Each structure stands twice: as structure tokens, then as C-alpha cells.
Amino acid sequence: MDAHYSILIIGYIFGFYMSWNIGANDVANSMASAVGAKAITIRQAVFIAGILNVLGATFIGSHVTNTIRKGIVSTEILGDPHLALIGALSALLASALWVSFATWKSLPVSTTHSIVGAMIGFGVMAGGFSVINWAKLGAVVVSWIISPLFSLVIAFCMFKIIVKLILIRENAFAQAIRLSPAFIGLTCFVVVLSFLFKTPLGKKLSLETPSALLVALILAVLLGFIGSKILRYYVRRDHSNGVEEIFRRIQIGTSCYVALAQGANDVANAIGPLAVIYFLVSTGSVGAKVPVPIHLLLFGGVGIACGISMAGHRVMKTLGTKITTLTNTRGFSVDFAAATTVLIASKMGLPVSTTHAAVGGVMGVGMAHGLEAVNFRIILQIVVYWVLTVPAAALTSVLIFKILEYIL
């Protein structure tokens, strides 16, 4: 077999392994609050997230990807195809190994930051420290503080609003039914805006901000009333669980959206470097951006689905049960806070992680019941792993780069 095709097969194996890790760690976050609040079982979460991730990755995933993730490393080092090939292989394996280690420890980390760290390791080996965009790297570091803090505050406030407007009222169930169009509409408003601004398909529609706000507002009002009608039909037949049953159904919807969006956005972390290898082997050269064939997106989507089904329960358990006790109203507040944080931060140009926002949201609803309701020992472990992600992936990438450079 031609040596180039042997390298391509290795690239597919590494790419699938990275996709598997995205499913096992990153995507598991999307369903963690729903599982923790017992809105759905782990088996149902795996089934729903698996299907939505394949659909999100294949049909609304990025069809063009930056070869050097997030512009952290100068594209000049791509001039040497041999160097670019070794770099893409090193980055894929190094980032996947770090995420595997974090998943084994049952701790949520950002796969985007892992691939960023791995690309830094490759960039330093290929062109020295001067090829690193330190300002961009600084923004990644700032996001470790901004995204959980934003989400913490929003989740705290949202849960306090639910308590004040519904939970402490004499007839809480009737009040929840009465206000359900507002909560469903508010959620739809954030979800529609996130879809328009955050997903590759939404960006292709290229709606200006005022138009996007108008579309989101109209759909939010419409879906709020339709959703409320459906909710009244089903919940009134079985309201043994009262208010929590209403928010359980809204929460399933928000978790499904996060799973679909993560499939669309995170698949690039695995398929971006694989696309570089694919085009280097096929054409012998590659530009600063490369198109991603749909079969690679489907390949990545299947890898993500396998990861969440085989190992997603580990991170789900940590985020959903070990930080604080989640109910459906708290789980809804977490999902709403995470989606809103990512949406606002993205519009401000800040590189935030859904993982970090989800952890901040869980802390926020926990703190709404006092500091003693939050397990800060687990929080400390998670933060240590966030800080270690970039240097650990970078150092592993350097090591793998040296080994591959010697072999190839």
C-alpha cells in the first residue's frame, strides 16, 4: 500500500478517536443537567444525543474549517506539506489523549481548548514561539473565568425568579401553567438566536442582528403559546409531580437543542485536522482553510455518537449529581444560563466553552440554596483540569510530534 494512504488510514483512526472523546466528554455535558434532574434516563440521553449529534454534525456542521484552530498559530507553517501532515496527526492524538484522561477521571473539560493546546505544541515545534498568537491565547485563558461566572449569575437569577413567581406561591402548579408561555417563549428566543448566530447553517443565512432579533421574537411568541397548549394537554392528565413536571418537559427541549448545536460546532475539533490530512494526501497541498466533505462530517458524527454511548455516563454523573442536587426547575435554569452565556459571549467575540458555562450554571443553582449546597471539592478538581488542558495537550503534542518526525 502507498505510504500516503497508510498515513490517511492512521488519520482516520486518530480522527475517530478524537470524535469519540468529544462525545464521551464534551457532548455528555449537553444532557448532564437533564439526567441529573431525572428529566430523562442516561439510556434515553445517550439515544437522543447520539441521533442529534449525527444530524447536527452532518447537516449543519462546518463545511469549511480553519486548519489552524481559532487562529492561535500562524498559517505560514503550513507551507511545508510534510510538516503540516505530522502536525495534524500530532494535534489529533494529543488532544484526544488528554480528553480521554479527563473522561477517565469523570471530569468535564473543553475539547476546543484541548485542540488549541495541541496546535500550540505543534506550532512551537514547527516554527518556534513566534508563530503563536499570544493575544488569542490570552482570550482563551480569560474565558476560563468569564463563562462560568456569567452562567453562574444567570442560573442563580433565573432560579430565584422561578422561586419568587412560582415555587413559593400557594397554588404553584396553576401559576406554573399560567406562566408557561413566558418561560417556553424565553427559551425559544435564546435557542432561535443561538441557532442563527452559532451554527454554521445559521451563519449561512447571514441575517443582520435586528432581523435575527425580530425573527427570534416572532417565533418565540408563536412557539411559546403552541408549547403551552401542548404542555397543558399532557401535564393536566398527569400532574402528580406538579411544577417540576412542567419544567421537565421544557428542559428536554433545551437539552436536545444543545446536543444538536454541539454536534454541529464541535465536530470541527476532530474533523478539521482530519480534513487537512485528507487534502494533503489527496492533492499534496492545503490552504489556510479547507472544505470538509460531507462523508467526513458523518464520520465525525458517528464517532461522537459512539463516544457518548460508551463513556458519556461518567461526565454526566459528575456534572448532574456530584456538584449539587438538581431538580427540573434547577436543570432548566442551568440549560437556560449555559445557552444564554454562550450566545451573549459569542456576540461579544469572547471564546467561551459550553462545558465551562454548564459548570457555572450548576454552581449558580446550587448557590441559590446557600454555599453549603455546592460541592467545592469537585469544583476545584474541575478548575485544575481546565487550567491543565492547554499545557498538557501542548506538551503531549510536542512529544508525539518528535516521535512522528523520527518515524515519518
Q: pLDDT by residue (tens digit) across 107-136?
A: 999 888 898 899 999 999 988 888 888 888
From the list 329, 363, 378, 362, the residue with the least C-alpha distance to 32 is: 362
Contact between 333 and 162 under an 8 Å Cβ cutoff? The reply is yes
Residue predicted with more confidence, 170 or 349: 170
From the list 259, 12, 17, the residue with the least C-alpha distance to 114 is: 17
The band of 62, judged by pLDDT with boundaries at 50, 70 and 90, is low
Which one of 190-199, 212-221, 253-262, 279-288 scores highest in mean pLDDT? Answer: 212-221
Which residues are CB-contacts of 318 (< 8 A; sequence separation ≥ 6)?
Answer: 32, 106, 107, 108, 378, 382
Residue 290 CA, chain-centre distance (Å), reads 22
Indicate if the alpha-carbon torsion angle 277, 278, 283, 285 is positive or negative: negative
Angle (deg, nearest 10), helices 376-407 and 111-127: 40
Q: Residue 160 has what pLDDT?
A: 94
Residue 139 CA, chain-centre distance (Å), reads 18
Distance CA 29, CA 146 (A): 18
From the list 323, 362, 303, the residue with the least C-alpha distance to 148 is: 362
Distance CA 392, CA 369 (A): 36
